[in-house]
Amino acid sequence: MTMNKEQAINNEELTNENGLNFIEQEIKDDLAKGKNGGRLNTRFPPEPNGYLHIGHAKAFIMDFGAAEKFGGTCNLRFDDTNPQKEDTEYVEAIKRDIHWLGYDWEDRLYYASDYFPQLYDLAVRLIKEGKAYVDEQTSEQIAAQKGTPTQPGQNSPFRDRPIEENLDLFERMNKGEFDEGSMVLRAKIDMANSNMHFRDPIMYRIIKTPHWRTGDKWKVYPMYDFAHGQSDYFEGVTHSICTLEFVPHRPLYEYFVNELADESYCPRQIEFNRLNLTYTVMSKRKLLQLVQEGLVSGWDDPRMPTLCGLRRRGYTPAAIKDFINRIGYTKYEALNHIELLEHSIRENLNKEATRVSVVQNPVKLILTNYPEGQTEEMFMDNNPEKPEEGKHGMPFSRELWIEQEDFMENPPKKFFRMTPGKEVRLKGAYIVKCTGCKKDNDGNITEIYAEYDPESKSGLPGADRKVKGTLHWVNAATATDAEIRDYDRLFAVENPSAHEGDFRELLNPDSLKIRKNAKIEPWLAERIKVGDNYQFQRLGYYTVDPDTTPDHIVFNKTIGLKDTWAKEMKK
C-alpha cells in the first residue's frame, strides 16, 4: 500500500499535459460543454465533530483550489446532521484552519441543518409517492435482512404499509412520540439490488438530543445519503468532490438528486484517493480518543496530524500545500510517507527560516587565553539563502556554551569536534584548540578549556585556515534559558491502522523529549513571537510555542536538518 516510485508515476499519468489532475480535467470538460449553465460551484462539507487533519486539507485544497483555478466558487458547509457528536468549538476551529491555509468561503457559509425543512418536505413527498416507508424493526433486524453482496436481502414486514399510515407515523416520529431506535424512515427501492446501498437505505432516524443550531425543533435527523446530495442541490453545487469510499454511494446520490434536478442543473459526485500518512492515524474517532484520554496534550499537540497540531509544530501553509501537490489526486488508495511531508517543510524552511544559535544541551567552554571582561561582536548571516536579509550581531567572550555532544575526551577515530589537543572553529568566530576539561565527583564534565587563536577571526584576511569541525556556540553571560520540546513519531509502527487490537498500544512511548535549559543568543531572545520559525544552527528547525510567557520561552522542534526522503529518492 506504501506509495512508491511506481505510484508516483501513476500520479503523473493522472496529471495531463496541461498540468491538470483528473478531477480538474473533468471540471474543465463540464465547463466546456456548458453544463449547469457553465457554472462551477464546489463545496467542502466537514462534520463539526472534530478538528481538521491534513487529510481534510487534501480535500479542501481540491475544493477551494479548483474553484480558484477555474473562476468558480466554493462553499463551506457544515454537515451538522448528528447533534450527538457535534459542537461549536469544532465549527470555529474548522474555520480557523481553512483560513490558515489561505482559503475563504466569503458569504457562502452553510449548514446542512438549514435544509432540514426542505429535506423533511422531500421525505414527505417520497412517502406520498410510495417511495418511502416507516420501519419499526430494530437496527439488528434491519441489518440481518440486508443480505450480502452476492445474496439478496429480505423485505421488511413494514415495507407495504399504507401511505397514510407512513405519513402519520413519520409526522409523529418528528413530534417525539417514539423512542430513539424504535423506528426509521426507509427509502423503498430494491432489497435485491446488487449495490447494497440501494437495499432500502435509511433516510431518517430519531434523535432526541437537542441540536446546537435548531434546538429541539426536530426529532428526526436525515442520514448522510439522504442529506448530502440534496444539500448540494439546494446550494447550487455543481461538483461534489469526495473520497473514494463514497464510490458505492454515488448511484444513491444520483437517485435522490434526480428527485429534484433536471437537465438545466444537476450536481455530480467525483471521488479521489484519501490521504493516509505513515506513523499516524487519520480517524477522527481515534484522534478524539487520544485527546479525551490525555494521551496527547490536546487537538493541537504538535505530534498530531491535525492542522492546528501541525501549525503548533511549525509547519507552514506553503509546506502543506507543496506536499499535497506532490502526492497528487488519484484513483488508487495509498499510504503516504511522512518523510515526504517532512521534506516539504524542510525545503520551505530552508528558504524562509532565519538562522540563530541555540545550545540545547549546554556545557561551559572557557577560553583561558581570552581577556577577562572583554566582549566582541561577531556577525552571523540571517539567512544564507537570502543574502539581502543581512546579518545580526552575537556577543563573544571568554565563557561560552557549547553542546555536550560536541566534546569527547577519548573520541573514536573520525570525531572532528572538540577533543584535547585538536582544533575546531567556533562558527563565525575563532579557531580554538582544546586543552582539557574539569569533571565532578561522578565523572561528569563540568567545564571544557581551550585557547583561541587571535589571528583566526572569521572574515579576517588569512584567517580561513582549514580545520575539520565547526561548532555552534552561545555567549554564556548574555544567554537566555529556554525549553525545547523535541518530538518523534506519534506511533511506533508505520501503519497503525493495519494492526489488529488496541491502537493505543502502538503509541511511541518516546515521542516527546523535553530539555529545560537550552541557551539562546540575545538577538533571538529579544524577538520571540509565537509561531515564528527559526533554523537553530546545526540542530534543525524550531518554532516558538504558545506556552511561551515573558519569563519562560518554549520552542517546538519542527524537524531536523537531515533529509531522509531526498536520500531515498536518489537510490
496 makes contact with ligand ATP (CB under 6 A) = no
Residue 562: CB minimum distance to ligand ATP, A = 28
In the sheet with 41-44, reading across from the earlier edge strand, the strands are: 41-44, 73-78, 109-111
| Helices 88-100 and 54-69, axial angle in degrees (round to 10) | 60
Contact flag: residue 222 with ligand ATP (CB under 6 A): no
Would you count residue 46 as binding ligand ATP (CB under 6 A)?
Answer: yes
- 274 touches ligand ATP (CB under 6 A): yes
Size of the site for ligand ATP (CB under 6 A): 14
Could you say which of 43, 186, 268, 284 is catalytic? 284
Q: Interacting stretch for ligand ATP, rule CB under 6 A, among 56-64, 193-201, 374-382, 388-396?
A: 56-64
250 is catalytic: no
Residue from 10, 25, 49, 289 binding ligand ATP (CB under 6 A): 49
Q: Is 313 in the site for ligand ATP (CB under 6 A)?
A: no
Q: What angle do CA 231, 237, 243 make, to 5 degrees?
A: 80
| 55 part of the interface to ligand ATP, by CB under 6 A | yes
For residue 265, the minimal CB distance to ligand ATP (Å) is 21
Which is nearer to ligand ATP, 46 or 428 (by Cβ)?
46
Helix/strand/coil (H/E/C) assignment for every residue in 31-66: HHCCHHHHCCEEEECCCCCCCCEHHHHHHHHHHHHH
Binding of ligand ATP by 291 (CB under 6 A): no
Choice between 282 and 467, CB closer to ligand ATP: 282
* DSSP label of 210: P
Our finding on whether 286 is near ligand ATP (CB under 6 A) is: no
Name the minimum Å distance from CB 274 to ligand ATP. 3
Contacts of 33 (CB under 8 A, 6+ apart): none
Burial category of 265 from C-beta neighbours within 10 Å (exposed 0-12, middle 13-18, buried 19 and up): middle
As given in the structure block, the three cell numbers for residue 310 are 501541525
**Per annotation, catalytic residue among 85, 131, 172, 274:** 274
Among 91, 169, 183, 242, binds ligand ATP (CB under 6 A): 242
List of residues 6+ apart from 531 with CB closer than 8 A? 311, 543, 544, 546
Q: What is the nearest approach in angstroms of ligand ATP to the Cβ of residue 324?
A: 9
| Residues ≥6 apart with Cβ < 8 Å to 63 | 42, 43, 44, 74, 241
3-state secondary structure 144-197: HCCCCCCCCCCCCCCCCCCHHHHHHHHHHHHHCCCCCCCCEEEECCCCCCCCHH
CA–CA dist 73, 117 (Å, integer): 25
Selecting among 47, 68, 447, 451, the annotated active-site residue is 47
Can you tell me which of 25, 28, 47, 137 binds ligand ATP, judged by CB under 6 A? Answer: 47
Q: Which parts of 358-481 fold into alpha helices (H)?
A: none
Q: Which is nearer to ligand ATP, 280 or 543 (CB)?
A: 280
Which of 309/395 has CB closer to ligand ATP? 309
56 binding ligand ATP? (CB under 6 A): yes
Residue 59 or 539: which CB sits closer to ligand ATP?
Answer: 59
> Hey, is 344 helix, strand or coil?
helix
59 counts as binding ligand ATP under rule CB under 6 A: yes
Identify which of residues 77 and 343 has a Cβ nearer to ligand ATP in the complex.
Answer: 77
The candidate with the shortest Cα–Cα distance to 9, out of 488, 487, 406, 569, is 569
CA distance 515 to 388: 34
Whichever of 243 and 404 has its CB closer to ligand ATP, that residue is: 243
**How many Å apart are CA 8 and CA 40, to the nearest integer?**
29
Burial (CB count <10 Å: 0-12, 13-18, 19+), residue 294: exposed
**Gap between the Cα atoms of 487 and 175, Å rounded:** 52
Query: Does residue 268 interact with ligand ATP by CB under 6 A?
Result: no
Residue of 323, 403, 309 whose CA lies nearest to 359: 403
Catalytic residue check, 333: no
Q: Is 77 in the site for ligand ATP (CB under 6 A)?
A: no
CB of 79 to ligand ATP, least distance (A): 6
* Residue 214 or 243 with smaller CB distance to ligand ATP: 243
Kindly tell me which of 226 and 473 has the beta carbon lying closer to ligand ATP: 226
Candidates 52-60, 200-208, 353-361, 451-459 — which segment interacts with ligand ATP by CB under 6 A? 52-60
Instruction: Tell whether residue 282 is a contact of ligand ATP (CB under 6 A).
Output: yes
Question: How many beta carbons lie within 10 A of that of residue 7, not counting itself?
Answer: 19
Residue 526 annotated as catalytic: no
Q: Does 244 bind ligand ATP (CB under 6 A)?
A: no
Question: Given the rule CB under 6 A, which of 50-58, 111-119, 443-451, 529-537 is the region that contacts ligand ATP?
Answer: 50-58
Active site positions, annotated:
47, 274, 284
The footprint of ligand ATP (CB under 6 A) covers 45-47, 49, 55-56, 58-59, 242-243, 274-275, 282, 284
